[in-house]
A and B are shown apart, each in its own frame.
Chain A
């Protein structure tokens, strides 16, 4: 079961929104769930959706996301795609990115659950779909007259909707 760190970065490289979560899908084999529960601490019950990053990794997640901004800015003027796909990896953490017309960057860092290459294509498509739907939410938020570009998104409804999308796709 993989954990995810999703962030929206504004045009001034400022974070607008961040969230950590893990895959909501129940892990297929009982052995992998045993590993994850033991790593989270045996006295704590497993909460579906709670990110499983170790404290050490959690600390550097924003740095990983921000360091990939350079790569995004390099490729943003050479490709006309919204979804930039997988752009970076950092010691087993993979980084996918998406950029909107208005230069807002969506970055998703996640640890690789399995090394099976067959499921990777599938994952990429799901992440793309996730980004597209978050873009839809972002535009809805943007159209709110009480929100202006580069403000932090503190709406609890937005947060809920993003997490619901996470549950749906990832």
Chain B
């Protein structure tokens, strides 16, 4: 079963780059971008298939499309498995990086794709009855600070502040970031903060929502919270124009 699943995913992943105008789907389904809508036109066979009562899926009986992803109850995972995984991530990035800045960029990049995907999932999970798209900077930040944070880390972030000096800079502050709970930065690594990964998640979520921003993580320890991290969000200039047009 699991073996079968692997085959399918690998097959479609390799064919992604090589799908040409000559590739014709064997089962009559599947969109081919080189051909366009003609590739998945409904034919007599596929029409019969669609109209039959038993039709669920073609490739595997339990494809990802058959499972519900809208479960309201929170799935808990072990903190140690998360920490070990993150430990490996940092380790892997560290090996291939050329310096502290490079390491942070790599972590940020990994988080970016997570954020891009997660924002869609979480909006879907909120449900469409009460739900709305975030179109204002402040509301978007409150969403990240609140619901978004809570669903990733199980708690909301501690503070959300606007920079006093620069109008398009905001800060989300977490007193004890979950991911770096067991990370101690050696002295010679200076300003490195492994929460760059989380900063990447935020950046990915903001960017894909159309709030183009640059997010960086900075350690700002205060008594009692040695791991306190400030996520500095610097929005693109063009956003302030968009905000001002709406008013």
Which residues in A have some Cβ–Cβ distance to B below 8 Å? Answer: 5, 7, 11, 15, 17-21, 24, 45, 47-51, 61-62, 76-82, 99-104, 132, 135-144, 146, 148-149, 151-161, 163-164, 167
Contact = CB atoms under 8 A, between A and B. Distances in A.
B128 interface: yes
A155 B120 contact: no
Interface stretch (B47-55, B88-96, B194-202): B47-55
Given A11-B208, A49-B42, A101-B133, A160 B37 contact: no
Interface residues of B, number: 53
Interface in B36-77: 36-37, 40-44, 46-47, 50-51, 55, 57-59, 63-65, 67, 69-70
Contacts of A82: 128, 131-133
Given A101-B119, A102-B208, A135-B124, A19 B9 contact: no
Interface centre among B27, B31, B63 (most CB of A within 10 A): B31
Contacts of A137: 65
Given A103-B209, A136-B70, A140-B69, A48 B51 contact: yes
B50 A164 contact: yes
Contacts of A18: 31, 36-37, 40
Q: Which 3 A-B pairs have the closest CB atoms?
A: A156-B30, A156-B29, A152-B33
A154 B15 contact: yes
Contacts of A81: 132-133
Interface string B9-47: 100110110010000010101111100110011111011
A55 to B, nearest CB: 11
A158 B66 CA distance: 10
Contact of A50 (B9, B33, B47): B47
B47 to A, nearest CB: 5
Contacts of B41: 20, 50-51
Contacts of B70: 136
Given A102-B120, A140-B65, A152-B33, A160 B208 contact: no
A146 to B, nearest CB: 4
Contacts, number: 165
Given A20-B41, A161-B65, A163-B42, A156 B132 contact: no
B113 interface: yes
Nearest to B67: A140
A83 B55 CA distance: 29
Contact of B63 (A61, A135, A157, A163): A157
Contacts of A154: 12, 15-16, 19, 30-33
Nearest to B23: A154
A170 B119 CA distance: 29
Contacts of A139: 69, 120-121, 124
A44 B102 CA distance: 63
Contact of A146 (B9, B30, B63, B209): B9
Given A24-B51, A139-B69, A157-B57, 20 more contacts: A18-B37, A20-B41, A24-B50, A47-B47, A48-B51, A78-B246, A79-B135, A101-B120, A103-B209, A139-B121, A141-B64, A141-B65, A142-B117, A144-B64, A154-B31, A155-B12, A159-B40, A161-B65, A163-B50, A167-B50
Given A160-B58, A163-B50, A136 B69 contact: yes
Interface centre among A62, A101, A140 (most CB of B within 10 A): A101
B16 A132 contact: no
A46 to B, nearest CB: 10
